[in-house]
Structure 1
Amino acid sequence: MTITVVAGNPKPASRTLDAGRRLAEALTGLPADHVIDVVDLGPGLLGWGDEDVRRAVETVSGSSLVVFASPTFKATYTGLLKLFLDQFAGGTGLAGVVSVPLMLGAGPGHALAPELLLKPVLSELGGTCALPGLYLIDSTYTEDSALADYASRWSPTVAALIAGR
């Protein structure tokens, strides 16, 4: 089993990245094998053929479970994450990858964003999106029980999906 976290926050080493790591570990009981802070890929995301971007795409495509994490920007996921997802072959780039959409925001007004905006693109790329998206309040996700409650409910499903891969 290979666990990867992808964080699409324009700020390096963000709370988004931290939340993604926490969720991956809570769902599996193991730390992530790979962490891709998309901002580190820089201008290579703006075209095709960048070696670092290619390696990151291969890492994600070869993973059993990937938590895709983004802050909420203008009521949706970031353009930075979109640039990364555009690097995947349509319909097949995430084939066989259990894909979990995670978004953080300042308040509950965008709580459906991971489900309505991020999950469909992951599914379009072939990801197995059997879990509902998770939305966390960025100022309280380390203290409230939302992440732990989600993981408690959905970790058996993740285990079953990965076992069936």
Structure 2
Amino acid sequence: MRTTVVAGNPKPGSRTLDAATRLAVALTGEQPDHLIDVIGLGPGLLGWGDAQVRAAVDTVSGSDLVVFASPTFKATYTGILKLFLDQFATGDGLRDVTAVPLMLGAGPAHALAPELLLKPVLVELGATCPAAGLYLIDSTYTTDTRILDHVERWAPTIRSSLRSEAS
């Protein structure tokens, strides 16, 4: 199984990247095969044809499991993540990818954001999102049990999705 983490935070090496990596490890028991810190793709995201962006898109579309993560920005996911997602073809750009939407925020006000805002765009791009999106409080995700609780509840469903897409 090929696992990738995509973090759409404007700050490189962010808590968003850390939280997404923790979630991927909790789901699979292993470090992800690839980490894509979208901000590192730079101005190539503003158009089409950039080789580094194309390689990142190919990595994601060739993965079995992808955790897509963003901080909550103006009540939704970041523009940097949107620029990256715009690089995928509508309908089948994420075909055969099982995706897990993850968002972080300062408080519970936007707890439904991963489910209502990020998950639909992943599905529009062809991903399978068999589990509820996860929202974490950015100041407590390293000390609370939300990641483990989510994995306990949803890992069997995610694993079942991975098996069915492999056949």
Q: Compute the TM-score of the two structures, normalised by the length of structure 2.
A: 0.98
- Give the structure 2 partner of residue 19 of structure 1: 19
Distance 1:20 1:148 in 2: 12
Q: Alpha carbon RMSD of aligned pairs, Å?
A: 0.5
Residues 5-58 of structure 1, C-alpha deviation per residue, up to 9 Å, x if partnerless?
000000000000000000011111111000000000000000000000000000
Letter in 2 for 1:21: T
Distance 2:8 2:99 in 1: 15
- How do 1:1-165 residues align onto structure 2 when only pairs under 5 Å count? 1-165=1-165
Distance 1:123 1:134 in 2: 16
Query: Runs of at least 4 residues of structure 1 off by over 6 A?
Result: none
Residues 94-144 of structure 1, C-alpha deviation per residue, up to 9 Å, x if partnerless?
011001100000000000000000000000000001111000000000000
Letter in 1 for 2:68: F
Secondary structure in structure 1 of the residue aligned to 2:103: strand
Residue ranges of structure 2 left out of the alignment (5+ in a row): none
Shift of 1:159: 1.4
Shift of 1:162: 1.1
Letter in 2 for 1:108: P
Distance 1:28 1:163 in 2: 13
Distance 1:163 1:136 in 2: 27
Shift of 1:80: 0.2
Shift of 1:154: 1.0
Letter in 2 for 1:56: A
Contact map agreement 1:28 1:159 (CA 8 A) in 2: no
Distance 1:101 1:122 in 2: 8
Task: State, as a whole percentage, how many aligned pairs show the same letter.
Answer: 72
Q: Compute the TM-score of the two structures, normalised by the length of structure 1.
A: 0.99
Distance 1:112 1:160 in 2: 24
Distance 1:73 1:97 in 2: 25
Letter in 1 for 2:92: T
Shift of 1:149: 0.3
Residue ranges of structure 1 left out of the alignment (5+ in a row): none
Secondary structure in structure 2 of the residue aligned to 1:164: helix
Distance 1:18 1:91 in 2: 29
Distance 2:133 2:75 in 1: 15
Contact map agreement 1:25 1:32 (CA 8 A) in 2: yes
